[in-house]
Amino acid sequence: MDDLQFRRSIYADPNTSDEEVRAAKHSDPAKRKFAEEIEQLDQQIAQALHIDVPQGLSEKLILRQSLASHQQQKKASRIKLALAASVTFAIGLIVHQLQFSHAYSSISDYAIAHTNHEAQYFSNQDEVRVSLTSLNKKMASFNGSFSEQLGELLMAEFCRFDGTKSLHLVFRGQTSPVNIFIVPDNEYLTVTKRFTDNNLNGVVNQFKHSNIIVVGDKQEPLEQWQNKISQTVQWST
């Protein structure tokens, strides 16, 4: 067997049992050495390919898969949460717009609309239930106070005066309740010092940062309320 054929046979199968190859290997020291080197290389390759599985590898792979799945679920949850937050924010903007939009152009229009809307909730026969101390605690939000009570105060609550935080007071009047609104200056509302409709009259006291609006029926002497407000209201700024 020539040298080229021998080498091809050994490369193809270092452990071949072919008789002709075995005979050539035993009869020629060079061929035998070449065959032994290839056999040794083949063994080294086999050993390199034979790697023991690390202990706990299967558990680690399962854990890694679980963590990857958990991360995907968290990412999906964050996306859903972000979408939900966006929807909530959009709804909030719409509600805010509806709640605080400026539906009126003047103080007089809104004061009459507000008074008419809440007229059913108050009566001159209601019991007096708000003290001067309680009133001034609320007035502090507007940096103001009254040195004495204007009259028999039936109600004092914060309200939204066309989107602006204000204070709504209801006093017992001569024939029906008198509504007074403490309203900070509002660039959206023009001020008319006197106004009227079929049933109500109104007057406005203008101060540095706020307006005090008095609304009563046609029999109510609003000028007296105006004068008393001017004499008793105090502002800290």
In the predicted structure, residue 87 carries a pLDDT above the cut 60: no
CA distances from 91 to 94, 96, 98, 163, 164 (A): 5, 8, 11, 18, 21
User: 41 by DSSP, 3-state: which?
Assistant: helix
Token pair 């959009």 is found at 90
Question: Which one, of 216, 212, 208, lies nearest residue 227 by Cα?
Answer: 212
In the predicted structure, residue 171 carries a pLDDT above the cut 50: yes
d(CA 149, CA 172): 12
Q: How much is the pLDDT for 66? A: 65
In sequence order, the 6+-apart residues with CB closer than 8 A to the CB of 52 are none
| Residue-wise pLDDT tens digits, 134-167 | 999 999 999 999 999 999 999 999 988 877 889 9
d(CA 63, CA 12): 43
Mean pLDDT across the stretch 218-227?
95
Q: Evaluate whether 102 touches 188 at the Cβ level (below 8 Å).
A: yes
Lowest mean pLDDT among 32-41, 79-88, 124-133, 172-181: 79-88
Confidence of residue 56 (pLDDT cuts 50, 70, 90): low
Fold observed for domain 107-235: Protein Transport Mog1p; Chain A (3.40.1000)
Q: How much is the pLDDT for 96? A: 45
Q: Evaluate whether 219 touches 200 at the Cβ level (below 8 Å).
A: no
In the chain, the N- to C-terminal Cα span, in Å, equals: 117
Confidence of residue 100 (pLDDT cuts 50, 70, 90): very low
Q: How much is the pLDDT for 147? A: 95
Token pair 């706990």 is found at 56
d(CA 104, CA 124): 28
Lowest mean pLDDT among 174-178, 185-189, 199-203: 185-189
- How much is the mean pLDDT over the chain? 80
| Residue-wise pLDDT tens digits, 192-209 | 899 999 999 999 999 988
Comparing 74 with 33, the larger pLDDT belongs to 33
Confidence of residue 98 (pLDDT cuts 50, 70, 90): very low
Domain boundaries, the chain: 3-49, 107-235
d(CA 71, CA 25): 62
- State which of 30-39, 68-77, 196-205 shows the largest mean pLDDT: 196-205
Helices (H), 101-207: 107-118, 132-139
d(CA 215, CA 13): 112
The answer to pTM > 0.85 is no
